[in-house]
Amino acid sequence: MSRLLQIGLGIVTSMGGFVEAGSVSTAAEAGAAFGFALLWAVAVAAAMLAFLIEMTGRLAAVSGHTFAGAVRERFGLEVDLGLIAVELVLDTLLLAAELGGVATGVHLVTGLDFRWFVVPAAFGAWLLLWRGTFGMIENGVSLLGLVGLSFVIAAWRLGAPGPALARGLVPTLPRTDVAHYGFVAISIMGATVSPYLLNFYSSGAIEDGWDRSALGVNRGVAWLGTGFGSVIAAGILAVAAVTLAPRGVRVDGYDQAAGMMVPAFGRWGVALFAASLGVGCFGAALELSLNAAYVLAQALGWGWGKNESPARNARFSLTYTAILVAAAIVMLSGVDPLALTLVTMVLTVVALPVVVLPLLVIMNDPHYLGRDVNGRASNAIVLAIVFAGAAMAVATVPLEILGGS
């Protein structure tokens, strides 16, 4: 029964990752611009993420290594520091976008400038990291993220057509605006398959004390959790397709996106959108802050772990404090939260092949996995992800110029 409970909590945790700045903005833009036609991108991105996090969870459960720790041991500190430099830059930009998402959620309800709420959002995240345990953060915030189910309920209440949903799962090119279609599809990939999730997930497995007996739980969390989360992202896209696309509304800001919930919930629609965005972004901000501290501490051999007091892991605690301050400064500079989100999604896609290749090597090393190394099918899928990521990385800059926002 305790294992089943772990799977249930894992589903909720994974779902929270699909209702944050990147997923909300890209799914809403996809639905508004192309109706249901990009549902396939949500499904493919979710499958890619499930494969990758299952591998990092298996690595942690069998070897006791996090992804970053295994990279340092297998490839040396120089390679690990290069990957960490890329990840820390991405984490800072993504964290700034998430803080902007939390602040924008409050702005949608109060009407006040979102920048007034950036510092309180950063302070709230820091206080919870400083005082809370990993379990409290993982499960408490994620349970609040169940408000994201309002998107699925809205799609049902609005009567999203089943045949159109099914057709959206089959990739087809639009007759016009192909460049923008490609740009949004790649942004969806970047919003979902974010490199920070790989090390955060493996670090969380170590925090939760996983061993080889947790391999079944790991598969359940990876597949059921990611699948459930993708349904939320699909709900966002479907609601935008039903409400925004027929009126020709393009999502240039969260204010336009928030209006898509009004036809389903009336005056409560904007509040539900704001709550879903705010809670989801707050949870992602916690994950990003922790991940930055995880990867740096694991690379440099510092003590790490959220379940330890800040005094015992002072450098670990200082790292998540510093990245929260840096991200808040970025957002206070006046950059638009949605524009920053879309740009960082594209940068994430560019970084994806560089991060996944070391994972492929490690997952085939018996020193770490023993008899649980990847099989041929898993290797083929990961190679396909690497090649797809490389192709998207090459295409992303011209597509951003031709079809970006």
Q: What does the pLDDT read at residue 13?
A: 56
Q: What is the pLDDT along the chain (405 residues), one digit of tens a residue?
A: 455 555 555 555 555 556 778 788 889 999 999 999 999 999 999 899 889 999 999 999 999 999 988 998 898 877 878 888 888 998 999 999 999 999 999 999 999 999 999 999 999 999 999 988 777 777 777 777 778 889 999 999 999 898 999 999 999 888 888 888 988 888 888 888 888 888 888 988 888 888 999 898 888 888 888 888 888 999 999 999 999 999 888 887 788 888 899 999 998 999 999 999 998 889 889 989 999 999 999 888 888 887 778 888 899 999 999 999 999 999 999 888 877 887 787 788 888 888 888 999 999 999 999 999 999 999 999 898 888 888 877 776 676 666 555
Closest among 306, 401, 342, 319 to 100, alpha carbons compared: 342
Q: What does the pLDDT read at residue 289?
A: 94
- Beta-strand ranges (E) seen in 176-318 are none
Distance CA(255)–CA(252), nearest Å, equals: 8
Question: Residue 318 is part of which domain span?
Answer: 2-403
Q: What does the pLDDT read at residue 348?
A: 83
Q: What does the pLDDT read at residue 399?
A: 67
Q: What does the pLDDT read at residue 116?
A: 94
**Domain harbouring 365, CATH code:** 1.20.1740.10
Compute the Cα dihedral for 248, 253, 255, 260 and give only its sign: positive
Closest among 262, 207, 271 to 239, alpha carbons compared: 262
Alpha-carbon distances of 317 from 120, 202, 204, 253, 335, rounded to whole Å: 19, 19, 16, 34, 27
Q: What does the pLDDT read at residue 93?
A: 92
Q: What does the pLDDT read at residue 144?
A: 75
**Count: domains in the chain:** 1
Closest among 139, 197, 204 to 9, alpha carbons compared: 139
Q: Residue 75 half-sphere exposure, CB side, CA atoms within 13 Å? A: 21
Q: What does the pLDDT read at residue 15?
A: 55
Q: What does the pLDDT read at residue 390?
A: 82
Q: What does the pLDDT read at residue 1?
A: 46
Alpha-carbon distances of 330 from 84, 115, 124, 187, rounded to whole Å: 20, 11, 17, 21
- Using the 8-state DSSP alphabet, how is residue 103 labeled? H
